């Protein structure tokens, strides 16, 4: 094919590629489709062998497109030439795959001649929509389960030239179609429930804010019901004059508005792609020239805070090889937010130049790491643009074409969760070695949540291009998820039965100690009998793919009977003691009863006494009342007496003054008396002396005189002491 020499460049490069290819063939040979795990073999899916299946420019074009619903049914569409009379036309064809039945017959769905720029979306509920350009407008046909394809309808109501349509469908069958008008604007229309209304067409970029759109295609993805994200590349006259990557989100009600999501404006950014999960998180990837070759960058939309990474946080670099430009990125994201990106990248060295296929993995809650990029294509041979898909378990499938013996053959490689990347696998079985005229191009792949997938491509048989497909069921190698709620490990119990309970993912068989347990509710519960001592509780969960997860906990059962018997004996002993105590208490109570009876009699007598005392108390209260009256009268009299006492005290004070004066006089009289006494004593002595010589009569007279004087002095003294 003509593109081959352009890919290889000079004859030297072609020769080097063939040499390297031979070296790899000696050391490693890809698996055949029959030997490859999960792939069923290539199948021709178009029946009109008179025309060519057209090629595509990913993601839009006329080449084969494919989607898979939740039940594993696949729908493929492609552009193919056909002849009417002497004229050749281009129309859109479709075919459907049913598990267990295979592919049906191809049918023409455009209803008119000349249709191109094809895209397809398949909902998990089995409905689908194909969109294309026809007469410079966007047209679509809807596939309804059980009814087939509808008559084609025009999607837009514009008078402008439309091109590059892209379509995505949510789980409810709502479809969003986006496209561009060359050099100017981005438009969108929702077909809610698959119903197309051209009058609801709306522009979703910022009007008049751009000079022209990039020639690279748009991309659109859906997340939850009626949620979508669109990305595109646009040349702006503001700031640095380069192509920038923009996004717009539909939040279930309206488009939120255009926003820039790229790393910086230092170089052209182009070929954006986007994917979403069921929580409406989104991841975009694009090519951008910052310095040197074009690299692959990414930005993440976090639905929890409704924002993309800001420029200050920086977009993530997915690869850092630096040997050549990145081209044609693709991204897939499963319902839980994990993602895989795949792209082409030139490997340019002085010895050899070829285009390789690389991939990187994104795990929810983290960010891309350039160091995690791997070479999906393990051969130093030129490759085509890849495609990638993921299932809910995180398994990924990458398909591409690689030059092999001078022709291009379609390859696939899968990444299994918990296992890693498998070896590359041939998907088409008619390789004939160096002399073969077979060639493949334009590979696409889709995988549903359960791991059922389909790859499609176009294959040149030496005469014309044909549409082929290969079905895969990704073996689920991930153990089922389950957890305990009871019992705790090491639990000790005296109950001979333990309840084993927990939560478990859907469609899992669960066995507890050999007993199958119902898990249809997402929970499990089983009662397990215990033996004395340690009891291992083994729970094994097995999913439909045969993966199992086992955990063991130990429950110790202590037989309560010996303990209970000892407790019963102790209780019996305690009861006997209590009985004896009760008997003694009864005797005491009888005696106490007698005492109570006696006390009752005494209480009656006491009550009689209290009654008598009450009467006496009443009489005393009357007496107290009379005394209170007397006291009041006496108090009044006392006040009068108090006045008299005050006057008497005043008289007493005056008498005391007189008494003090008499005492003074008495003192003086005493002094005089003492003096007189002294004189009298002296006279007495004289008398005594004279008495001896005097007659007794004299002494008698003297004695009488002394007695009289003493009596007079005494009367005077006593008379002064009276008040």
Helix (H) or strand (E) holding 162: none
Q: What would the 3-class secondary structure string for 555-617 be?
A: EEECCHHHHHHHHHHHHHHHHHHHHHHHHHHHHHHHHHHHHHHHHHHHHHHHHHHHHHHHHHH
What is the per-residue pLDDT for 473? Answer: 85
Angle in degrees, CA 706, 709, 714, rounded to 5: 125
Please give the full DSSP string across 316-371, using - where no structure is assigned. EE-----SS-EEEEEEEE-TTS-EEEEEEEEEE-SS-EEEEEEEEEE-TTS---GG
- Bridge-based pairing of strands 137-144 and 128-134 is antiparallel
For residue 693, pLDDT over 60 is answered with: no
Least confident of 218-232, 329-343, 616-630, 661-675: 661-675
d(Cα 589, Cα 602) in Å, to the nearest integer?
19
CB 327 within 8 A of CB 271: yes
pTM to 2 decimal places: 0.67
d(Cα 168, Cα 274) in Å, to the nearest integer?
11
What is the per-residue pLDDT for 555? Answer: 96
- Residue where the block lists tokens 């359960």: 450
* Structure confidence at residue 686 as a pLDDT band (50, 70, 90): low
Angle in degrees, CA 508, 513, 514, rounded to 5: 70
Least confident of 291-295, 334-338, 661-665, 719-723: 719-723
Q: Which of 151, 204, 214, 157 is nearest to 176 (CA)?
A: 204
Q: What percent of the chain has pLDDT over 90?
A: 43
For residue 656, pLDDT over 80 is answered with: no
d(Cα 643, Cα 296) in Å, to the nearest integer?
126
For residue 702, pLDDT over 90 is answered with: no
For residue 564, pLDDT over 70 is answered with: yes
Helix (H) or strand (E) holding 709: helix 696-721
Domains and CATH numbers, the chain: 2-473 (2.130.10.120), 482-558 (2.60.40.10), 561-721 (no CATH)
CB 264 within 8 A of CB 303: no
Least confident of 10-24, 147-161, 418-432: 10-24
How far, in Å, are 465, 643, 711 from residue 343 at the CA level?
A: 25, 132, 164
Please give the full DSSP string across 656-706, using - where no structure is assigned. HHHHHHHHHHHHHHHHHHHHHHHHHHHHHHHHHHHHTTS-HHHHHHHHHHH
d(Cα 184, Cα 206) in Å, to the nearest integer?
10
What is the per-residue pLDDT for 695? Answer: 53
User: Who has greater pLDDT, 188 or 290?
Assistant: 188
What tens digit of pLDDT does each residue of 24-78 get? 333 344 544 444 457 999 999 998 676 888 886 534 456 899 999 999 999 999 9
Which residues 6+ apart lie within 8 Å of 711 measured at CB? Answer: none
| Highest-scoring range by mean pLDDT, 90-104, 203-217, 377-391, 470-484 | 90-104
For residue 12, pLDDT over 70 is answered with: no
Q: Is 230 helix (H, G, I), strand (E, B) or coil?
A: strand
Beta strands in 423-547, from DSSP E residues, in sequence order: 425-426, 439-447, 452-460, 465-473, 482-486, 491-493, 497-504, 508-512, 515-517, 523-529, 533-543
């Amino acid at each position: 094919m003509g593109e081959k020499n352009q890919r290889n460049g000079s004859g030297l490069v072609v020769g080097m590629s063939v040499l390297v290819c031979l070296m790899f063939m000696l050391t490693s040979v890809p698996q055949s489709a029959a030997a490859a795990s999960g792939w069923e073999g290539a199948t021709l899916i178009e029946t009109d062998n008179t025309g060519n299946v057209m090629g595509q420019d990913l993601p839009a074009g006329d080449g084969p497109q494919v989607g898979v619903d939740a039940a594993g049914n696949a729908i493929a569409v492609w552009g193919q030439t056909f002849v009417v009379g002497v004229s050749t036309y281009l129309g859109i064809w479709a075919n459907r795959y049913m598990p267990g039945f295979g592919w049906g017959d191809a049918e023409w769905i455009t209803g008119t001649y000349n249709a191109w720029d094809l895209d397809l979306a398949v909902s998990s509920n089995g409905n689908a929509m194909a969109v294309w350009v026809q007469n410079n407008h966007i047209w679509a046909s809807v596939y309804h389960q059980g009814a087939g394809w509808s008559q084609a309808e025009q999607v837009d109501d514009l008078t402008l030239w439309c091109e590059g349509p892209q379509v995505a469908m949510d789980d409810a069958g709502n479809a969003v179609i986006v496209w561009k008008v060359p050099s100017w604007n981005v438009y969108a229309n929702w077909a809610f429930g698959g119903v197309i209304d051209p009058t609801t067409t709306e522009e979703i970029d910022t009007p008049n804010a751009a000079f022209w759109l990039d020639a690279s295609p748009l991309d659109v993805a859906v997340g939850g019901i009626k949620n979508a994200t669109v990305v595109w590349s646009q040349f702006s006259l503001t700031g640095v004059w380069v192509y920038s990557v923009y996004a717009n989100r539909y939040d279930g009600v309206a488009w939120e508005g255009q926003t820039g999501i790229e790393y910086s404006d230092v170089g052209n950014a182009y070929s954006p792609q986007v994917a979403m999960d069921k929580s409406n998180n989104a991841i975009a990837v694009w090519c951008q020239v910052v310095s040197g070759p074009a690299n692959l960058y990414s930005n993440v939309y976090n639905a929890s805070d409704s924002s993309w990474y800001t420029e200050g946080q920086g977009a993530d670099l997915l690869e850092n090889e630096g040997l050549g430009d990145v081209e044609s990125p693709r991204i897939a994201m499963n319902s839980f937010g994990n993602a895989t990106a795949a792209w082409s990248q030139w490997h340019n060295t002085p010895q050899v130049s070829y285009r390789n296929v690389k991939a990187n993995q994104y795990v929810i809650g983290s960010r891309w790491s350039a160091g995690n990029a791997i070479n999906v294509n393990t051969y130093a041979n030129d490759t085509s643009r890849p495609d990638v898909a993921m299932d809910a378990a995180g398994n990924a499938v990458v398909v591409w074409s690689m030059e092999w013996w001078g022709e291009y053959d379609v390859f696939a490689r899968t990444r299994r969760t918990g296992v890693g990347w498998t070896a590359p696998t041939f998907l088409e079985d008619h390789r004939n070695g160096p002399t073969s005229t077979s060639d493949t191009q334009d590979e696409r792949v889709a995988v549903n949540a359960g791991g059922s997938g389909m790859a499609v491509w176009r294959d040149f048989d030496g005469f014309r291009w044909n549409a082929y497909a290969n079905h895969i069921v990704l073996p689920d190698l991930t153990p089922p998820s389950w957890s305990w709620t009871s019992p705790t490990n090491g639990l000790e119990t005296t109950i001979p039965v333990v309840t084993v309970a927990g939560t478990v993912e859907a469609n899992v068989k669960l066995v507890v100690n050999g007993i199958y347990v119902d898990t249809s509710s997402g929970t499990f519960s089983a009662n397990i009998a215990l033996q004395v001592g340690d009891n291992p509780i083994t729970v094994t969960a097995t999913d439909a793919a045969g993966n199992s997860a086992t955990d063991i906990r130990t429950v110790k059962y202590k037989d309560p009977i010996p303990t209970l018997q000892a407790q019963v004996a102790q209780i019996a002993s305690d009861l006997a003691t209590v009985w004896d105590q009760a008997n003694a208490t009864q005797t005491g109570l009888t005696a106490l009863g007698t005492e109570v009876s006696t006390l009752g009699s005494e209480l009656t007598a006491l009550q009689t006494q209290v009654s008598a005392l009450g009467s006496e108390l009443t009489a005393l209260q009357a007496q107290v009342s009379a005394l209170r009256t007397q006291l009041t009268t006496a108090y009044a009299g006392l006040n009068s007496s108090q006045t008299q006492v005050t006057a008497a005290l005043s008289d007493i004070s005056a008498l005391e003054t007189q008494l003090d004066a008499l005492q003074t006089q008495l003192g003086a009289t005493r002094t005089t008396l003492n003096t007189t006494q002294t004189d009298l004593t002296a006279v007495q002595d004289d008398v005594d002396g004279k008495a001896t010589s005097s007659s007794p009569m004299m002494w008698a007279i003297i004695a009488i005189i002394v007695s009289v004087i003493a009596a007079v002095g005494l009367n005077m003294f006593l008379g002064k002491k009276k008040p």
